[in-house]
Structure 1
Amino acid sequence: MTRRICVATGSRADYGPLRPLLARLREEPEADLRLLVSGGHLVAEQGLTIEAIRRDGHPVDAVVTNVLAGDSPHAMAKSFGVAAAGYADALLGLAPDLLVVLGDRYEALAVAAVAALSRIPVAHIAGGQVTRGAVDDSVRHAITKLANLHFTSTEEFRCRIVQLGEPADRVHLVGSLGLDEVLSRPRPRRAEVLGELGLPDGKPLILVTYHSVTADPADSAAGLAGLTAALDRFPQATIAFTASNVDSGGAEVNRRLREFVERNTDRSALFPSLGQQAYLDLVMSCDLVLGNSSSALIEAPAVQTPTVNIGRRQEGRPRAASVIDCGVDADEIVDAVRQALSPEHERVTATATSPYGDGKAAERIVHHLLREPLDGLLHKEFVDGGVRC
């Protein structure tokens, strides 16, 4: 008997890791996959990435348009409300046996809440994490309490979910989906990657992803100013920027990055969305990943690319030895970049390992999605008593 599984994706941030899971579900005769697309996928400034989903061969079964004009907290809150109304209609039509969500964005919280109210079991991927520099923590933990089944990247995260009162037998350590694709890809030729993107082969090649720090706007602005000032001090570098997410403050980040590119058209470019394959090719080809994105902590160390992580946004996530943390001041960023590009750190990076798994998360998740008994899954009990893992 097939099981109808709906996977929801609201941005390139969750779709990239979800790709190997979607591919495996498509291959499973016992899985009847339904794909629900919303959020940044439908925004032109984010690359209209719904088309990339279709190019990957995934039919889109339902679409929810919810992103309103503006990136203020008020606009984000209203977008959440619009999303919830749209998800209610979409899930009614899709009628899944199980809903799968990944991460900590407001779209994931909205669809998880609607599913819970609609008595649809929720499977949550990548819970139990801590990112003290963003409002994501409260969103992520809220999804955990709405969810009935949990898939975590590390044992530490698994323990945290159990400590939140979730039954231990419903919390599964699977590793990070983000490693599945990057560890299975052949290493590309750098010249071909740069040629396809229209970038010169300067030294060093720096991949930059900087997102707004939603929990601390002042730190976010300072980090952005420090970042662009620091990059001015590496005039020989080729710099590939990926645009910020649809978050509070994201539009200002993209505006400042565009200004930098306009001043440095001969050596830099801003990409609204590279797509997962081109992005991973750049991660494997570049000399440094710079910014404050989770991929710099998860995927980059797994392929022996050094990382400089700026500011507080990723506070609380485990780090590989190849990751260098720095503050938001330009001088600190410059020093960290120089250290990351040094022969000494190159040797450290060459032996670094990612703390996020072995690249086999998708097969483990599919196993549980298809084998977990649905009877009783909606029933949730808070496991009290100071559980120790």
Structure 2
Amino acid sequence: MTGRQLEAIEEVLLQEKPDWVLVYGDTNSTLAGALAAAKLHIPVAHVEAGLRSFNRKMPEEINRVLADHASNLLFTPTESAQENLAREGIECDKVIPVGDVMYDVALYYRDKALMPKGLIENGWVAQPFVLATVHRAENTDDEGRLMQILEGLGGCGLPVILPLHPRTRGSIQARGLGIPENILIIDPVGYLEMIWLEVNSSVIATDSGGVQKEAFFSGTPCVTLRDETEWVELVHLGVNVLVGADAGKISAAIKSSKKFDGVESPYGDGHAAEKIVRALVASRGS
């Protein structure tokens, strides 16, 4: 996948001759874009730079490390991200703290959330519920972990809404795993619908990095179905708890979670995108 993307992106860059290539996050396309640009001597800027889970078994970790070290400008969302880059010897003049662009987006769209279509028709009734998402290979490809997660959600004492990722659906079906009665499976939802679910849920259980942050933006406690997280600030603030794939810990964490407010955001002031644009314009001028 990454090789095919690199080849195709290179064709676009040769045709368009951009002044900068801006890559985001830690996906395969992030790495492909950074490598293609670097090989063509086009400056690379990495948004959401400096994140580390320190788990090299995760493909995302490899992507983000290589993208950072191929970049000319690194826009960091948090103080810990800056510290990670400093420890890796990346020159400080390349690193620009801007905050998190996801926080910008959350502030802009928080009043535009939409209730997912067909939710009531699928059997949901207005009541406290858990929002769950499970998609990471470490959980979906390991039958034991997936079974523990389903068991933990099943024993949490609340209805669970689970927008089911295709990878997870395929894994459940291939292994013939049963779904606990309190879990309502729905199709994947769009961004505005996801915001509605995050804001209206009592607690979020997820293995997604992005959803961990969106939970914080929504004032909803998060139970993270992983053994580590890039967003260590949320754990330190006490609004996110790591439980791995342990059924007992999952159920207990969900039962003990409570909504919160008044917690200062570690992700900037909601103007990260503007700071990124100003930095790119200034760098071009120099």
Scaled by the length of structure 1, the TM-score of the pair is 0.64
Q: Which amino acid aligns with 2:72?
A: N
Contact 1:289–1:307 at 8 Å: present in 2 too? yes
Inter-CA distance 154–315: structure 2 relative to 1 (3 Å threshold): closer
Inter-CA distance 208–362: structure 2 relative to 1 (3 Å threshold): same
Alpha-carbon distance, 1:318 to partner: 2.3
Match of 1:268 among 174, 184, 189: 184
Paired residue for 1:3? none
1:326 aligns with 2:243: yes
Map 1:100-111 onto structure 2 (within 5 A). Answer: 100-111=22-33
Contact 1:162–1:168 at 8 Å: present in 2 too? yes
Q: Which amino acid aligns with 2:185?
A: A
1:233 aligns with 2:155: yes
After superposition, what is the alpha-carbon deviation per residue over 1:161-192, rounded to whole angstroms, capped at 9, x for unaligned? 23333332221111111111212334468xx6
Inter-CA distance 257–185: structure 2 relative to 1 (3 Å threshold): farther
Paired residue for 2:253? 336
Q: Distance in 2 between matches of 1:261 and 1:117?
A: 46
Q: Distance in 2 between matches of 1:110 and 1:147?
A: 12
Match of 1:277 among 182, 192, 195: 192
After superposition, what is the alpha-carbon deviation per residue over 1:252-278, rounded to whole angstroms, capped at 9, x for unaligned? x23245799995799623333x22222
Match of 1:295 among 204, 207, 210: 210
Inter-CA distance 299–261: structure 2 relative to 1 (3 Å threshold): farther
Paired residue for 1:304? 219
Contact 1:201–1:238 at 8 Å: present in 2 too? no
Give ranges in structure 1 of 5+ residues lacking alignment: 1-78, 245-250, 376-389
Q: Distance in 2 between matches of 1:183 and 1:336?
A: 28
1:123 aligns with 2:63: no
Inter-CA distance 163–262: structure 2 relative to 1 (3 Å threshold): closer
Q: Which stretch shifts more, 221-230 or 151-160?
A: 221-230
Q: Distance in 2 between matches of 1:295 and 1:263?
A: 25
Contact 1:301–1:353 at 8 Å: present in 2 too? no
Does the residue aligned with 1:308 lie in a helix, a strand or coil? strand
Q: Which amino acid aligns with 1:371?
A: A
Match of 2:77 among 153, 156, 164: 153
Does the residue aligned with 2:130 lie in a helix, a strand or coil? strand
After superposition, what is the alpha-carbon deviation per residue over 1:268-306, rounded to whole angstroms, capped at 9, x for unaligned? 23333x222222222112221112111233221122111
Paired residue for 1:11? none
Paired residue for 2:19? 97
Alpha-carbon distance, 1:363 to partner: 1.2
Contact 1:310–1:325 at 8 Å: present in 2 too? yes
Q: Distance in 2 between matches of 1:327 and 1:130?
A: 17
Paired residue for 1:12? none
Inter-CA distance 187–238: structure 2 relative to 1 (3 Å threshold): farther
Contact 1:222–1:329 at 8 Å: present in 2 too? no
Paired residue for 1:364? 275
Map 1:187-206 onto structure 2 (within 5 A). Answer: 187=111, 193-194=115-116, 197-198=119-120, 200-206=124-130
Contact 2:75–2:96 at 8 Å: present in 1 too? yes
RMSD: 3.0
Alpha-carbon distance, 1:374 to partner: 5.8
Map 1:1-389 onto structure 2 (within 5 A). Answer: 79-133=1-55, 134-187=58-111, 193-194=115-116, 197-198=119-120, 200-214=124-138, 220-234=142-156, 237-243=159-165, 251=167, 253-256=168-171, 268-272=184-188, 274-314=189-229, 317-319=232-234, 320-340=237-257, 345-346=258-259, 349-373=260-284
Q: Which stretch shifts more, 231-240 or 166-175?
A: 231-240
Inter-CA distance 213–308: structure 2 relative to 1 (3 Å threshold): same
Inter-CA distance 261–174: structure 2 relative to 1 (3 Å threshold): farther
Contact 1:132–1:312 at 8 Å: present in 2 too? no
Q: Which amino acid aligns with 1:301?
A: F
Alpha-carbon distance, 1:356 to partner: 2.1
After superposition, what is the alpha-carbon deviation per residue over 1:225-256, rounded to whole angstroms, capped at 9, x for unaligned? 11211222357514132526xxxxxx3x2324
